[in-house]
């Protein structure tokens, strides 16, 4: 599969320097392989999406020197594709209705969880009888749909982190508002766009086994993976706006790009194009970067 890459932000606010550095890395991985680089807007949460945020995010990507191929893909226009994927899973008896509230899940998942990660879904609604399901539907709460994963252990290889495996819980593929859930939408779209390598922040590593399992169940092309180190604040937490001047609203784009170059060990570069000339994924720092200012 080609090494075509992508950056897929949610248009709900301003991108900070950590987000932009991850976008830069995704661009560097793709362009250094002579591949396409695509941008997708993950706008499936209408209550939080802001069109002005989407415009600002695209402007910020261009401001740090990134270009992309073709039009931006909007997930809100892809409902038919997601429903087709859910129909395939339903036809193979891989999904079931879930009526649980978040509070109920938190309470139930505090019990011993065996091979599953902490906070997993405990399978409460999997064990409902037909009569119990009818009563819950009659109660008026619309159900979500969960994948019947059965604690399957999923293993994959990450270019930077090596082999990784985890047992997968029964996760949501369609929310109770009818919208596709993140894990399903992202893999359907990556396959449709021909993404060959997913480059993203290491904070998303634990969601990858779910996505790999979905890809295999739907018989979609499976991309390779590269989870890149995060940018942290002085307190050791993932960089956020509370850490001060961390967006292009406060920091000049050129200054920000030079900081990114230094953080990637490319001190002589002052533009994205110059970084591309010297970029070698094998020499990428493996540890998180602490942001102390530019």
The string of pLDDT tens digits covering residues 120-171 is 888 899 999 989 999 998 888 899 999 999 999 999 999 999 999 999 999 9
Chain centroid offset of residue 192 CA: 16
Residue 283 has pLDDT above 80, yes or no: yes
Residue 292 has pLDDT above 90, yes or no: no
Integer Cα distance of 200 and 217 in angstroms: 23
What is the number of other CB atoms lying within 10 angstroms of the CB of residue 268?
10
Integer Cα distance of 255 and 115 in angstroms: 46
The answer to whether residues 48 and 15 touch, using CB atoms and an 8 Å cutoff, is no
pLDDT band at 240 (very low <50, low <70, confident <90, very high): confident
Integer Cα distance of 41 and 80 in angstroms: 17
Give the CA radius of gyration of the chain.
20
pLDDT in tens, 65-93: 999 999 999 999 999 999 999 999 999 99
> For residue 110, what pLDDT is reported?
60
> For residue 243, what pLDDT is reported?
82
Residue 1 has pLDDT above 60, yes or no: no
Strands 95-98 vs 144-147: parallel, antiparallel or unpaired: antiparallel
Average pLDDT of the residues of the chain: 93
Check residue 285 and report its DSSP letter. -
Q: Which of 189-193, 235-239, 243-247 has the highest mean pLDDT?
A: 189-193
Residue 27 has pLDDT above 60, yes or no: yes
Write phi, then psi, for 249 (nearest 5 degrees): -75, -30
Residue 212 has pLDDT above 70, yes or no: yes
């Amino acid at each position: 599969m080609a090494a075509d890459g992508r950056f897929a932000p949610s248009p709900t606010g301003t991108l900070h320097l950590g987000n932009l550095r991850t976008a830069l890395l995704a661009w560097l991985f793709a362009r250094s392989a002579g591949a396409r680089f695509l941008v997708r807007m993950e706008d499936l949460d209408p209550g939080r999406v802001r069109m002005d945020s989407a415009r600002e995010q695209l402007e910020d990507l261009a401001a740090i020197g990134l270009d992309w191929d073709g039009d931006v893909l909007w997930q809100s226009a892809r409902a038919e594709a997601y429903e087709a994927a859910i129909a395939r899973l339903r036809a193979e008896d891989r999904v079931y209705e879930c009526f649980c509230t978040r509070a109920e899940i938190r309470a139930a998942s505090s019990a011993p969880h065996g091979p599953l990660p902490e906070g997993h879904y405990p399978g409460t609604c999997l064990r409902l009888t037909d009569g119990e399901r009818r009563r819950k539907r009659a109660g008026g709460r619309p159900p979500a749909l969960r994948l019947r994963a059965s604690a399957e252990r999923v293993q994959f290889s990450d270019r930077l982190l090596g082999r990784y495996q985890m047992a997968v819980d029964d996760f949501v593929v369609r929310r109770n508002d009818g919208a596709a859930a993140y894990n399903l939408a992202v893999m359907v779209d990556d396959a449709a766009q021909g993404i060959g390598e997913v480059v993203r922040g290491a904070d998303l590593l634990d969601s990858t086994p779910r996505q790999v399992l979905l890809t295999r169940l739907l018989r979609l092309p499976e991309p390779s993976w590269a989870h890149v180190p995060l940018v942290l604040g002085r307190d050791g937490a993932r960089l956020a706006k509370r850490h001060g001047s961390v967006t292009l609203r406060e920091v000049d784009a050129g200054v920000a790009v030079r900081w990114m170059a230094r953080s990637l060990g490319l001190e002589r570069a002052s533009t994205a194009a110059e970084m591309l000339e010297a970029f070698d994924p094998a020499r990428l720092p493996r540890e998180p970067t602490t942001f102390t200012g530019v």
